[in-house]
Chains A and B, each alone.
Chain A
Amino acid sequence: MHNEHQIVTLVYDAKQDMHKADSLIRSYIPFIRSETSKFTKRICTDQDDEYSIAMIAFHEAIRSYTKDRGAFLSYASLTIRSRLTDYARREARHSGHISIHEENSEDDIPLSEKLVDANDGHEQNANLEATKEEIAELAKVMAQFGVTFTDIAENSPKQNRTMEVCKQVIRYACDNRQLLDVLLETKKLPMAQLVNGTKAERKTLERHRKYILAMLLIQTNGYEIIRGHLRRSLAVKGGGQV
């Protein structure tokens, strides 16, 4: 009983803090592994996709757990099993195929195009080192603002409409590059100018401050590869320069 209370406290702490969640998960790896083995009916290795899925499921369980849902571990076990079931069903749709690229069931891109994409992927993998450096650099700059990628992931706009507003703001900043300079100099988002320039709701921008910050930083010099990756997003909207 006491043990249960302890884990509940840990889970509640981990809800807010992704890093705490990560370390909690690390200490429960044996549990996750055993749950996965129970599901796959074979010994689970670190290489199994199921293992990763189980881990993210455990993470989800941490996020969605509340005290009224009973004991945490049984709840986590249930979450893991249902996520693995989902994953297995999705995989089953492609049971006839061998290619790893078929895993993606979410888009309707034909196989040929997928293969082209795969080639692109190979090219990019060749540039892996360069990309890594860019990302590390971006992470460093963002650290100066006290922001990590995880924070941004939490802060990402989830509604299309909100996303559109944020994109508008980003495009506006791209058109007025002095704003980006101001951002780098003062380490502060020039929120007033952004609001005035785009007529967006200040509240919306404040809520997604971190996301906008990251996107603006990407628009500053030196992140060609990331910008190349994002080309489609801003080009589709017919926005400013990339």
Chain B
Amino acid sequence: MTYMVLECHTSYAVVLDELGNFIKVANLRYEVGQTVDCVVKMQEPASETSDAAKLKSLTFKKFMPFIAAVAACFIFLFTYMFNYATFASVYISINPEVKIDINRKDMVVGLSGVNQDGTDLIEGYSFKKKNLDTVTDELIDLAIAKNYLSNGGKITIELNSSDTQWVISRETSLTEHIDRYLTDKISVTIQLNHQGSSSVENNAIIPVDPDDGDSNYADTDYGENSDGVTDYNGNNTDYGAGNDGITDYTDGTTDYGDDDYIQNGSQSSNTEISDDDGQSNYSENDDGQSDYTENSSPYSNDSDDDASDYE
């Protein structure tokens, strides 16, 4: 192999070998244009590559914090997306309308009132670490407590998610859940509202607990025999003993003032009246036993509401 000297410097020379490589070599008193047989190559490849590698690793080291930061961001982002990002929204509207944002694991991640009543409803309520079912239940309780929801009320539920599968599965389960939850409380209509599509009515009418106070106003037949004739209109308002045509309201022994009637609790059954003086005059026989139950009078079942009924 011969090398042609192309350029000479104090410390090195550039030579061209026969294969077309330009090489830096030790300048052993070379002259430009000279052809030489052997050269002492500058150990550049090795040192340069190691240099480059070092430089690369240095650069890497330098950027390591940034890379770590970016990675951390991604991890955070994914965690966030999984745990905090809204995967679906549930709109519950009674009259107060609220929007519940949930993540993939059905955990509630956001709660906001859609209208003013909704905002009032959720005021002071914390949804942290609760799942959808719990929040729904508690909100409904709240709505009942704040007199937004009562017997015969209607709950409209709308599920909003990009995942249709989820919407379909949740529609059923959520409705069933609310149904179950309300079974022992009040009777409401639960309506499912599909986004844009036709709505499905899901009626869940549940036996009513008698204290809710508004569903029975229509039935005003407080008279005997439950004959459908409101006895207030006629003169036969003889609730007193013996059905003698004499209204016993004035006899001074009436128990209408009994506190039991005023109580809101559904357990204040009429049979407890006699504990006052044992002389309930409602019944025909005046036997100390209230006949309300036997007569299938509306008092027993429906109209426990003292306030409206007797005063």
- Measuring CB to CB, which residues of chain A are less than 8 angstroms from any residue of chain B? 18-19, 21-22, 25-26, 29, 46-47, 49, 52-53, 55-56, 58-60, 63-64, 66, 83, 87, 101, 103-104, 106-107, 114, 117-118, 120-121, 124-125, 128-129, 131-132, 134-136, 139, 148-150, 152-153, 155-156, 158, 163, 167, 170, 211, 214-215, 226, 229-234, 236
Contact = CB atoms under 8 A, between A and B. Distances in A.
Contacts of B9: 18-19, 22, 150
B55 to A, nearest CB: 9
A124 B35 contact: yes
Contacts of B28: 49, 52
25 contacts: A18-B12, A22-B9, A22-B10, A47-B29, A49-B28, A52-B27, A56-B26, A60-B42, A60-B43, A64-B47, A64-B51, A120-B2, A120-B35, A121-B35, A128-B34, A132-B32, A139-B6, A152-B14, A153-B14, A158-B45, A214-B22, A226-B4, A226-B16, A230-B18, A233-B18
Contacts of B64: none
Contact of B19 (A132, A214, A233): A233
Contacts of B277: none
Interface string B1-39: 110101101111010101111111111110111111110
Given A55-B12, A150-B9, A229-B16, 13 more contacts: A22-B10, A22-B12, A55-B26, A55-B27, A56-B26, A104-B1, A107-B1, A121-B35, A153-B22, A163-B20, A167-B20, A226-B16, A229-B18
B54 interface: yes
A50 B48 CA distance: 23
B144 interface: no
A64 B52 CA distance: 10
A156 B2 contact: no
B7 A121 contact: no
B43 to A, nearest CB: 5
Contact of A230 (B16, B24, B42, B50): B16
B229 interface: no
A233 B20 contact: yes
- Interface-centre pick from B23, B50, B51 (highest chain A CB count, 10 A): B51
B11 A21 contact: yes
- Interface-centre pick from B27, B33, B47, B48 (highest chain A CB count, 10 A): B33
Contacts of B2: 117, 120-121, 229
Interface of B: 1-2, 4, 6-7, 9-12, 14, 16, 18-29, 31-38, 40, 42-45, 47-48, 50-51, 54
Contacts of B19: 163, 230, 232-233, 236
A120 B12 CA distance: 25
Contacts of B11: 21-22, 25-26, 55-56, 58-59
B47 A60 contact: yes
A136 to B, nearest CB: 8
Across chains A and B, which 5 residue pairs bring their CB atoms closest together, nearest first? Answer: A104-B38, A132-B33, A131-B33, A56-B26, A64-B47
A148 B7 contact: yes
The interface residues of chain A, by DSSP majority, are classed as helix
Contacts of B23: 153, 156
A56 B34 contact: no
Contacts of B25: 56
A171 to B, nearest CB: 11
A7 B258 CA distance: 108
A241 B43 CA distance: 33
Nearest to B43: A60
B34 A125 contact: yes
Contact of A229 (B24, B35, B38, B54): B35
A131 B30 CA distance: 14
Nearest to A109: B1
A52 B31 CA distance: 14
Nearest to A23: B10
B10 A64 contact: no
A117 B1 CA distance: 9
B37 A101 contact: yes
- Interface-centre pick from A49, A150, A211, A214 (highest chain B CB count, 10 A): A150
Given A52-B29, A124-B35, A150 B50 contact: no
